Amino acid sequence: MAKQSPIPLLTDGKRVDGRLPEEHRPVTMQVGVLPNANGSALVAYGNTVVLAAVYGPREPIPRYITVPDKAVVRVRYHMAPFSTDDRKNPAPTRREIEISKVVKQALETVVFLEQYPKSTIDVFLEVLQADGSTRVTSITAASLALADAGIPMRDLVVGVSVGKINDTVIVDLNKLEDNYGDGDLPIAIAYRKNWVLLMQLDGVWKPSEVKRGLELAFKAAENIYRNMREVLKGRYMAVIQQ
Q: Which of residues 18-77 bind ligand CDP (CB under 6 A)?
A: none
| R_g (Cα) of the chain, nearest Å | 18
User: CA–CA separation, 103 vs 220, rounded Å?
Assistant: 19
CB of 159 to ligand CDP, least distance (A): 9
User: CA–CA separation, 89 vs 179, rounded Å?
Assistant: 19
> Is residue 126 involved in binding ligand CDP (CB under 6 A)?
no
Interacting stretch for ligand CDP, rule CB under 6 A, among 10-18, 132-140, 141-149, 213-221? 132-140
How is residue 113 annotated by DSSP? G
Helices assigned H by DSSP within the chain: 94-110, 134-148, 175-180, 207-241
> Is residue 134 involved in binding ligand CDP (CB under 6 A)?
yes
Q: Which of residues 183-202 bind ligand CDP (CB under 6 A)?
A: 186
Phi first, then psi, for residue 159 (nearest 5°) are -100, 135
Residue among 115, 117, 36 at smallest CA distance from 69: 117
Answer for the pair 191, 229: CB distance below 8 angstroms, yes or no. no
Q: Which is nearer to ligand CDP, 88 or 229 (CB)?
A: 88
Q: Which is nearer to ligand CDP, 89 or 242 (CB)?
A: 89
Show the site string, 137-166: x = touches ligand CDP by CB under 6 A, - = not.
Answer: ------------------------------
Q: Which is nearer to ligand CDP, 135 or 235 (CB)?
A: 135
CB of 200 to ligand CDP, least distance (A): 9
> Is residue 111 involved in binding ligand CDP (CB under 6 A)?
no
Interacting stretch for ligand CDP, rule CB under 6 A, among 70-78, 148-156, 164-172, 175-183? 175-183
Q: Regarding beta strands 27-31 and 48-58, do their DSSP bridges make them parallel or antiparallel, or are they unpaired?
A: unpaired
Q: How many CB atoms lie within 10 A of CB 233?
A: 10
> Is residue 87 involved in binding ligand CDP (CB under 6 A)?
no
> Is residue 178 involved in binding ligand CDP (CB under 6 A)?
yes
User: CA–CA separation, 204 vs 105, rounded Å?
Assistant: 25
The site for ligand CDP (CB under 6 A) is made up of: 84, 88, 95, 130-135, 175, 178-179, 186
